[in-house]
Structures are given as C-alpha cells and as structure tokens.
Amino acid sequence: SQQGEEDPQALSIQEGENATMNCSYKTSINNLQWYRQNSGRGLVHLILIRSNEREKHSGRLRVTLDTSKKSSSLLITASRAADTASYFCATRQGGSEKLVFGKGMKLTVNP
Amino acid sequence: GAGVSQSPSNKVTEKGKDVELRCDPISGHTALYWYRQSLGQGLEFLIYFQGNSAPDKSGLPSDRFSAERTGGSVSTLTIQRTQQEDSAVYLCASSSDPLVRGVDEQFFGPGTRLTVL
C-alpha cells in the first residue's frame, strides 16, 4: 500500500493564488520529499524535509512537517501557469533505502 | 550525459513478446531504482540496486519481470511474455548512496512508455 497519500487529489486555482497540498503517511519516517511531474514523464525533486525539521522554504515553496500527526503540507505561493503539474510526496522510513511515493495530486493553475 | 537517460522513449509491442528497457544512471551514482507508473497513478516501486549489494526485488510484480545492473552502471529491465496490463511508463532513477552520503534526492529519467497491444 502507498505510504503517502496526497490530498486533495486534484486542485484547480487561478494564477497568483496560493496552492496547498497535503500528504499523510502511516509509519515513522527519516525524511519526506516532494517531487513534481510534468506530462507523465520523469519526476523532479523539489524539496526535502527531515524528521527533526518542522518547516523549510525554497523560493516560492514552503513545506511543513508534523510528525505527531504524520502529515506534511506543500505550499506554492503566487502560483503560475507553469506550476501546472502533478505533485508527489515520498517518504523514507528510518533505515530503509527506498522511497515510498504517494499517488500524486494534479495541480492546474489557470492563467 | 548529465542526467539519467532511458531508452527507448516509447515501445509498442505485441502481447507475448519480450521487451528490454534500458537505463543509464548519472555517473557515480551507486543507487538505481526502477518504478512503474500506470496512467494517472502513483509510482510503483519495482527494484532497487545499491552498489555491489544484492538487489531489492521486492516490488517486481511477477517472475516475468527481471532486471540487471552491469558494472554498477547501466541497468536493463526485462519483461518476458508481455501482457496488456504491463502497459505503463517505466521510470528509472538514480541517487548517491542514501544511507552514507546523506544526500537523498533521486534523479529521474524521462521514462519509457510501454504499450502492449
């Protein structure tokens, strides 16, 4: 079964608005990562947050992690049409060498 | 090249045929992963290679699937006697040793879209 579950499954917003995506997971983790995928092809790493971190920023991205609730959120501020893509969270469990990906969330940013 | 490359980019085959998919990881990356992604779905882990260790094959869906990694670099995923349900995008990723280097980012190739008629 998938470790990460993104919520919502799909989100449509207007350019300039903020987009928030949530990810929940079941077991303890070493870190949580967010990836972006365009057009069903290769994924691109966006940001990684470790289990001892609560918040991280990278450009227009802000990631939070709440290990007590086993959840993370990805916030994209001032969205652009080019942000239209699918976004995946992935978790690495302690001691595991594998990432477990969620099913993804499709974001559409309308110009 | 600078990134992960995969070939072919698209493959159409007939049910029952064997196919080979190739992945060239980033030079120096010791970890290599294969995933499968069906239309509109998440990534399904297939197999993981790390250095000279025995591969983690726990994600392979059946014994029709196998993979090799020669010389710690190029990998080939082979699907024998393909079935229509094997149709998907097959993604390869590589990374530095995740447990040693503390660098956890996976770099993905563009994928091979397999269609089994």
pLDDT tens, N- to C-terminus, chain B (117 residues): 579 999 999 999 999 999 999 999 999 898 999 999 988 778 899 999 988 888 999 999 999 999 999 887 999 999 999 999 999 999 999 998 666 555 678 899 999 999 999
pLDDT at residue number B104:
74
Query: How far does A24 lie from chain B, in Å, by closest CA?
Result: 15
Tell me which amino acid residue B22 is: R
Q: What is the pLDDT of residue A73?
A: 96
Please report residues of B whose CB lies closer than 8 A to that of A46: none
**Nearest residue to A29 (alpha-carbon basis) of A85, A110, A90, A87:** A90
- What is the predicted pLDDT for the residue at A15? 97
B42, A101: Cβ pair inside 8 Å? yes
Round to the nearest angstrom and report the end-to-end CA distance of chain A. Answer: 36
Quote the pLDDT of residue A78: 97
B98 and A92: CB-CB below 8 Å?
Answer: yes
Residue of B102 and A8 predicted with greater confidence: A8
| Facing residue for B48 by CB, picked from A2, A44, A97 | A97
pLDDT in tens, B69-82: 988 799 999 999 99
Tokens of B25: 């990881």
Residues near B40 by beta carbon (within 8 Å), at least 6 away in sequence = none
Q: Does residue A39 or residue A110 have the better pLDDT?
A: A110
Which amino acid makes up residue A46? L
pLDDT tens digits along A27-79:
888 889 999 998 767 899 999 999 999 999 999 999 999 999 999 999 999 99
- Closest Cα in chain A, distance from residue B56 (Å): 9
Per-residue b or e along B63-88, where b marks 16 or more CB atoms closer than 10 Å to that residue's CB: eebebebeeebebebebeebeeebbb
Task: State the DSSP H helix or E strand holding residue A70, giving kind and residue range, or none if neither.
Answer: none
DSSP conformation letters of B69-117: EGGGS-EEEEE-S--GGG-EEEEEEEES-TTTT-----EE---EEEEE-
Radius of gyration, alpha carbons of chain B: 14
Does pLDDT of A7 surpass 80? no
The pLDDT of residue A92 is: 83
Confirm if A35 and A102 have CB atoms less than 8 A apart. no
Provide the pLDDT for residue B72.
Answer: 77
* Set of chain A residues whose Cβ sits within 8 Å of the Cβ of B39: 40
- Look up residue A26 and give its DSSP letter: S
Calculate the average pLDDT of chain A: 89
B110 → closest Cβ in A31, A42, A48: A42
